[in-house]
Amino acid sequence: MTVHDMAHVELYTSHAPSTIDYFVSGMGFTRVADRVEADRSSILLRQGETRLIVTSGRGIWKFLDRHGDGIADIALTCDDVTKTRDAAVAAGAESFAPAHGNPVVSAFGGVTHTLLPRPSHPDAWPPGRPWDTAPQGQEQGQELGQAPVGVAAGRIRSLDHIAVCVEGSALKNYADYYGAAFGMSRYSSEYVAVGDQAMDSIVVRSESGRVTFTLVAPDPTKSPGQLDAFLDRNGGPGVQHLAFLVDEIIPAVRELRDQGVEFLSTPGTYYDMLADRFTGTRERIEELRATQILADRDEWGYLLQLFSRSPYERNTLFFELIQRRGSRGFGSANIRALYEAVERDRLAAG
């Protein structure tokens, strides 16, 4: 009952054309297949190892009314889908009608997990729904997964992790659920206080290392903050952001900015403070300052990261670019460093 990989993530949207344009024209994904069903239509996008399904139509309006545009399903490949479904149900999950023959169980909020068998070889796609318009080299109507498909070119290599925002009182319960249902272990945990607000987090990861969820939650004993606001706007727990792994983040950020992707801005004082944490790398820090990229390090190495602005009306789901040079962490020091930098600017202005 162990999960091995994330086969794809499915995003429900109220306006498919603008969503597709954001990922294709802005982030460099390639449109590889389409599927029209009775109450919805889906478009499959790919970049590197990342597969993203964008779905719209009347069949998903209940989700959109409650949560707005966002991730509705995270498909997981499993060693044994039946045993994994049974373990999830035993751990408290709800089991839904199969999707194209594959079991579906509840995850958090309105999000589900479709359970798929592992592919027969690394380049094959796991079986899923049949697609009406197939990529080059596949016959129309053939299920993706029955033949290898080339990796689309682009800056994004894979899905590094998925950040999930849940209620503070339920954080440990969700971590326990992923252990009991999917054989995932607790990789790390961290508590970060920022002024009179605080965030608690637990990272759970599969034995394969290819499925990582960063579970984040507000501390209910502290003042409400950005995570409480997310839960309110999202109508409960949900995917806060998708973190895309890139080989070189500086050219990736420059390219995506030129293509219209908006990123969060970073105050200049952040980089003054960064020089104290990253000694002997002045030229590198100035390059990060020019691109607004954040940096963090741990005992294994360092990482560089930058977060996009949410392109959606409810300001919920957003995206991260992350480059790893040995680091196994998730940039938690940047939360405190950014807060302190903003506070220094506020005091200087006052």
Return the bridge partners of 242, or none.
162, 319
332 or 117, higher pLDDT: 117
| Distance (Å, whole) CA 240 – CA 202 | 14
pLDDT tens for each residue of 32-50: 999 999 999 999 999 999 9
| Distance (Å, whole) CA 313 – CA 293 | 25
pLDDT tens for each residue of 64-101: 999 999 999 999 999 999 999 999 999 999 999 988 88
Q: What is the DSSP letter of 23?
A: I
Range list of β-strands (E), the chain: 3-12, 30-36, 41-47, 50-56, 70-78, 95-99, 102-108, 111-117, 156-165, 185-194, 197-205, 212-218, 238-246, 294-298, 301-307, 318-325
pLDDT tens for each residue of 118-150: 887 766 666 666 777 644 444 444 444 433 344
> What mean pLDDT is reported for the chain?
88
| Distance (Å, whole) CA 155 – CA 171 | 33
Q: What share of the chain is helix, strand, coil (3-state, %, to 5)?
A: 30, 35, 35
What is the CB-side half-sphere exposure of residue 89 using CA atoms within 13 A? 12
pLDDT tens for each residue of 144-179: 443 334 444 579 999 999 999 999 999 999 999 999
279 or 215, higher pLDDT: 215
What is the CB-side half-sphere exposure of residue 273 using CA atoms within 13 A? 20
H helix or E strand, kind and range, residue 256: helix 249-258
Predicted pLDDT at 155: 93
| Distance (Å, whole) CA 145 – CA 127 | 5
Rg (CA), the chain: 20
pLDDT tens for each residue of 181-206: 999 999 999 998 888 888 999 999 99
Q: Which of 170, 264, 179, 236 is nearest to 213 (CA)?
A: 179
334 or 179, higher pLDDT: 179
Q: What is the DSSP letter of 140?
A: T
Check: CB of residue 321 under 8 Å from CB of residue 244. Answer: yes
38 or 344, higher pLDDT: 38
